[in-house]
């Protein structure tokens, strides 16, 4: 039995130490935000936050998450509510500003890559409140083990959504 903390809740799972975290999240915990794209750390579709840092869950063994906090796309609203001390009523109805911006900019096309894009945007904006376009591009291309890939070509909309989310998050700080 392994215990990990996912989206603020302790979860007990039956998995060998080398099971990819992605498999545990999707198959055991039914958190289907993270996607299986390449399975080789080459696309970013499987991204989650581990202690606030974006990682590729397809190649991260579940043992690496023990004793640390995992946040998936599903956990972003609660993460934001906790950071901002929102009341329970507000927290229940609030999306994370990144998610809200993605909706308002109509960013997704097929949507498959967008989990990783929103996770990466959240990581970026938690550390850089007003990123330049160059900083946004760098976050999605050279900051991690590989670029975040979108086969539909939504890159321009992603930059605009990050800028929109940055504005909202700066006002709330």
Cα-only R_g, the chain: 15
Q: Binding to ligand FES by residue 75, rule CB under 6 A?
A: no
Q: Which three-class secondary structure state does DSSP give residue 152?
A: coil
| x/- map, 50-69, ligand FES, by CB under 6 A | ------x-x-----------
DSSP state of 27: I
Q: Binding to ligand FES by residue 43, rule CB under 6 A?
A: yes
- The pair phi, psi for residue 116, each rounded to 5°, is -65, -35
Q: Binding to ligand FES by residue 113, rule CB under 6 A?
A: yes
Pairwise CA distance, residues 65 & 56, whole Å: 12
CB nearer to ligand FES: give 91 or 109: 109
Q: 107 — alpha (psi -120 to 50), left (phi > 0) or beta?
A: alpha
**Total interface residues for ligand FES by CB under 6 A:** 23
Q: Which of 15, 46, 81, 98 binds ligand FES (CB under 6 A)?
A: 46
Residues binding ligand FES (CB under 6 A): 36-39, 41-46, 56, 58, 108-114, 150-152, 154
């Amino acid at each position: 039995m392994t215990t990990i903390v996912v989206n603020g809740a302790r979860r007990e799972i039956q998995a060998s130490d080398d099971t990819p975290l992605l498999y545990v999240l999707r198959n055991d915990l039914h958190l289907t935000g993270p996607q299986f794209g390449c399975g080789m750390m080459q696309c970013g579709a499987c991204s989650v936050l581990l202690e606030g840092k974006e990682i590729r869950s397809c190649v991260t063994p579940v043992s690496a998450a023990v004793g640390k906090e995992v946040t998936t796309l599903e956990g972003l609203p609660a993460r934001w509510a906790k950071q901002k001390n929102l009341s329970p009523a507000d927290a229940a109805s609030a999306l994370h500003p990144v998610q809200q911006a993605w909706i308002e900019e109509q960013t997704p096309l097929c949507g498959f890559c967008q989990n990783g894009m929103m996770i990466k945007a959240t990581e970026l904006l938690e550390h850089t409140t007003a990123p330049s376009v160059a900083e946004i591009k760098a976050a999605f291309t050279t900051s991690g083990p590989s670029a975040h890939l979108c086969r539909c070509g939504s890159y321009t909309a992603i930059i605009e959504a990050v800028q929109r989310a940055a504005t909202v998050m700066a006002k709330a700080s």
